[in-house]
Amino acid sequence: MPNAVFTKLQDARKTGRKLFALLIDPDHLRLQYLDQTVALLNRTPVDLVMVGGSLLLDERLEECLSYLRARIELPILLFPGSALQITSKADAILLLSLISGRNPELLIGQHVTAAPYLRSSGLEIISTGYMLIDGGRPTTASYVSHTLPIPANKPDIAICTAMAGEMLGLRCLYLDAGSGAHQPVSPEMIRQVRENTQTPLIVGGGIRTGQQLHERLVAGADMVVIGHAVEEEPQRLMELSGVVDRFNAQITRKTV
């Protein structure tokens, strides 16, 4: 269905029903981990699988996509670290513009290179204002992108950046503390960005516990992305996706 993934994000924003995305980084691909995760995915309330990472070898991306395609029904969303990470084996792509940084290649440069491939890929394209937020330690994303993250204690900068991204027509915003961050994006920053923008809001980076996840849903994230915590311990997928599921069940009860 055209626009199926963006429609999910928009519905989440409108209804308050949250989405849970599992991020799989093909660089960390271990067959045993994937087997275990896929088995769990087929019996947990996960909405989307995201595939990507800051440093990818593209054969691994293709390999990972083929593996997942053959085993799961969920929509697969590319989360590309560079213009090399495009494959029509996914359903959709977050076309990230790194608006927290000032690296022209990641604001528009790689997009120009990728545009003809994207056009012919058939992928649903979701332009996204991607904002790296300081998570307490240097991340691969920050190093590879040659950009400084927004300081965690400066919500005003995050608000203005998010507002500018929205005014430029980006369809969605992503606050990311970076994979494996010590500190996830604070609920306060999420709340303030949420209050000042209308687009769907994705939040990820360093979320490890059910409580951290719940606080970020309450603060206004429409979709949370979890990678590391599940990679370290696949069983956590049940616990973490269960938090979103219970949150949504409460909304349903309130609206009935």
Binding site for ligand 1GP (CB under 6 A): 23, 176, 179-181, 204-207, 225-229
Q: Which is nearer to ligand 1GP, 127 or 174 (CB)?
A: 174
Asked if residue 23 lies in contact with residue 79, where contact means CB atoms within 8 angstroms, the answer is yes
Please, what is the minimum distance in Å from the beta carbon of residue 100 to ligand 1GP?
A: 13
Rounded to 5 degrees, what are φ and ψ at 234? -55, -30
> What is the rounded CA–CA span in Å between residue 232 and residue 207?
12
Position of tokens 């370290």?
Answer: 232
Please, what is the minimum distance in Å from the beta carbon of residue 183 to ligand 1GP?
A: 11
Could you list the beta-strand ranges (E) of 52-171: 76-78, 92-98, 124-132
Q: Which is nearer to ligand 1GP, 27 or 63 (CB)?
A: 27
CA-angle at 201, arms to 197 and 206, nearest 5°: 130
Q: Which is nearer to ligand 1GP, 114 or 237 (CB)?
A: 237
Please, what is the minimum distance in Å from the beta carbon of residue 255 to ligand 1GP?
A: 29
Residue in 219, 128, 133 with CA at minimum distance from that of residue 176? 133
Q: Which is nearer to ligand 1GP, 80 or 206 (CB)?
A: 206
Q: Which is nearer to ligand 1GP, 13 or 216 (CB)?
A: 216
Please, what is the minimum distance in Å from the beta carbon of residue 141 to ligand 1GP?
A: 6
Residue nearest to ligand 1GP (CB): 204
Please, what is the minimum distance in Å from the beta carbon of residue 116 to ligand 1GP?
A: 27
Asked if residue 203 lies in contact with residue 135, where contact means CB atoms within 8 angstroms, the answer is no
Contacts of residue 146, Cβ cutoff 8 Å, sequence gap at least 6: 101, 103
Please, what is the minimum distance in Å from the beta carbon of residue 49 to ligand 1GP?
A: 13
> What is the rounded CA–CA span in Å between residue 159 and residue 185?
13
Q: Which is nearer to ligand 1GP, 123 or 213 (CB)?
A: 213
Asked if residue 48 lies in contact with residue 61, where contact means CB atoms within 8 angstroms, the answer is no
Q: Extract the tokens encoding 30.
A: 């271990």
